Amino acid sequence: MIKIPLDEVIQKIVAQSGMSELEVNAKIDKKMKAFDEIISRDGAAFMIASEHSVKVFEDPATKVLQIKDVHPGMSGVELVAKVSRIFDARSFARDGRDVPFIPIMVQDSTGSIRTTLWDKRAELISKDRLKVGDVIRIKNCSIKENSYTGKDLQMNSRSQIIINQDKLDVDIDAPVAAVETDLSNPTMGSPVTILGTIVSISEPRFYDACTDCRRKVSESNECQTHGKVDSPKTTMILNFVLDDSKGNIRATCFGELGEKLIGETADALKDIIAAQGGENIGLEMLGKMVEVSGIIKENKNYDRVEMTINSVKTQSADEMIARLNNG
Ligand SMILES: [Zn+2]
C-alpha cells in the first residue's frame, strides 16, 4: 500500500502539470468511471499522475546546481531560480494544430539562463500560474548549446516545474553581476569581465543603423520595426583579439564603445579611412591593457568562441599589476 495522502498527490499533479485542482479532480472522476469504479480514487490519481509525467515521489539523488555551473551537454539537471522575464507567446503548426511556446529567462545568484515552455507548460503563463518573480525548481532538465545565448535549458516530458515551494533571495531587477573569468576556461553565456591586453586589432567596419533601435537598416534605409529612417546613424564594428596570458579571444564592440576606444567618431573614422586607408587605425591600441565586460559565446559558423563587449575600461600597467596582485 502506498502511503501518500490523496490530497498531496493532487497537489503534486497541480504543481507539475499546469492543470487546476478542478481539472485534476474531473480527470480522476473520469478515470474512475472509465474503470467502472474498480479502482480507488487514490489509484485513479496515480494514473493521472503518470499520464502527465508527474513525479509523486521525490528522487533523493538529485543535486541542485547553480546556473554558472551548468554547461551544454549536461542532463538530469536541477535548478532553483527566479523567473526574471517572460517573452511573448508564439506558436507553430504541428500535426494540424497550433502548438504554443513561451520563452522565459530564469535567474539565480550566479547568472541567468533561457528556457522555453512548450505546449501544455505554456499554459502556466497563459493561465497566470507562473509570473515574473516566482521561484521555480526545475527538475530533470538538460542544457543545450545556443549560438546566441551560449546555453539554453531544455525540458522534456520527464522534467518538472515546481512553483514557489522554495525561497530564493535574488533581485531580478539588479543586473547580473559580471564574474571575473580567465580565458583558459571562460564562463560562457553569462556576464563576465576579463583583464587582458589587446594583441591584434582589425580595421573597423561600419553599417547604417536605425536611430530608434540601433539595428541595421536595409539598403533603402528601412528598419524592420521603425520603417523608413531619414538619416541613419553610422555605426562602427570593431574587432580585436584580447589576451589574458592564459588564452585569447576575438572580441567585438559595437557603436560608441569602439569610438571611445579609438577616440574618433564613426563618421570621422570613415572619412579618415576613405582618405588614407584603414591599416593604421587603432594601432596605438596594441599592447594596451583593458578590462572588458561582456558575454562569451560560441560562434558555430567559425567553430570558435567570441566575446561581445558591453563595456571597456583602459587600465594603466600600474593599475593592472595592483589588481592582479590583489586578486
Ligand atoms: Zn528601428
DSSP, residue by residue, 109-163: TTEEEEEEEEGGGGHHHHTTSS-TT-EEEEEEEEEEEETTTEEEEEEEEEEEEEE
CA of 215 to the centre of ligand 1 (A): 6
Residues near 260 by Cβ (< 8 Å), separated by ≥ 6? 312
CA of 222 to the centre of ligand 1 (A): 8
CA of 89 to the centre of ligand 1 (A): 22
- In this predicted structure, what is the pLDDT of residue 121? 94
Cα–Cα distance for residue pair 88/110, rounded to 1 Å: 25
CA of 235 to the centre of ligand 1 (A): 14
CA of 227 to the centre of ligand 1 (A): 7
Locus of grid cell 547604417: 208
Cα–Cα distance for residue pair 87/116, rounded to 1 Å: 9
- In this predicted structure, what is the pLDDT of residue 320? 65
CA of 99 to the centre of ligand 1 (A): 30
CA of 213 to the centre of ligand 1 (A): 4
**How far does the chain reach from its first CA to its final CA, in angstroms?**
59
Residues near 5 by Cβ (< 8 Å), separated by ≥ 6? none
> Is residue 254 packed enough to be buried (19+ CB in 10 Å), middle (13-18) or exposed (0-12)?
middle
Cα–Cα distance for residue pair 23/20, rounded to 1 Å: 5
Amino acid in the structure at residue 126: S
CA of 208 to the centre of ligand 1 (A): 11
CA of 252 to the centre of ligand 1 (A): 21
Same-fold call for 64-163 versus 179-326: yes
Helices 6-17 and 21-34 cross at an angle (nearest 10°) of 120
- In this predicted structure, what is the pLDDT of residue 204? 92
- In this predicted structure, what is the pLDDT of residue 106? 94
- In this predicted structure, what is the pLDDT of residue 1? 41
CA of 236 to the centre of ligand 1 (A): 17
Domain spans, the chain: 6-45, 64-163, 179-326
CA–centroid distance for 15 within its chain: 24
Strands 192-201 and 289-299: antiparallel
Locus of grid cell 572619412: 271
Contact 66, 110 (CB under 8 A): yes
| pLDDT tens for each residue of the chain, 327 residues long | 446 778 888 988 998 888 999 999 999 999 999 888 788 888 899 899 988 888 776 554 456 888 887 877 888 899 999 999 898 888 888 888 889 999 999 999 888 899 999 999 999 998 999 999 999 999 999 988 876 666 899 999 899 999 999 988 888 877 666 778 889 888 887 788 998 989 999 999 999 999 988 889 999 999 988 899 999 999 999 999 999 988 999 999 998 899 988 889 999 999 999 998 888 888 888 888 889 999 888 877 777 889 999 888 887 767 766 766 765
Topology of domain 179-326, CATH = OB fold (Dihydrolipoamide Acetyltransferase, E2P) (2.40.50)
Cα–Cα distance for residue pair 154/159, rounded to 1 Å: 9
C-alpha cell at 120: 501544455
Q: Phi and psi (nearest 5°) for 278?
A: -110, 5
The superfamily (CATH) of domain 64-163 is Nucleic acid-binding proteins (2.40.50.140)
Note the residue count of the chain: 327
3-state secondary structure of 254: strand
The 10 Å Cβ neighbour count of residue 276 is 10
CA of 224 to the centre of ligand 1 (A): 6
CA of 220 to the centre of ligand 1 (A): 13
CA of 219 to the centre of ligand 1 (A): 14
CA of 152 to the centre of ligand 1 (A): 27
CA of 126 to the centre of ligand 1 (A): 29
CA of 41 to the centre of ligand 1 (A): 58
Cα–Cα distance for residue pair 321/202, rounded to 1 Å: 27
3-state secondary structure of 269: helix
CA of 109 to the centre of ligand 1 (A): 33
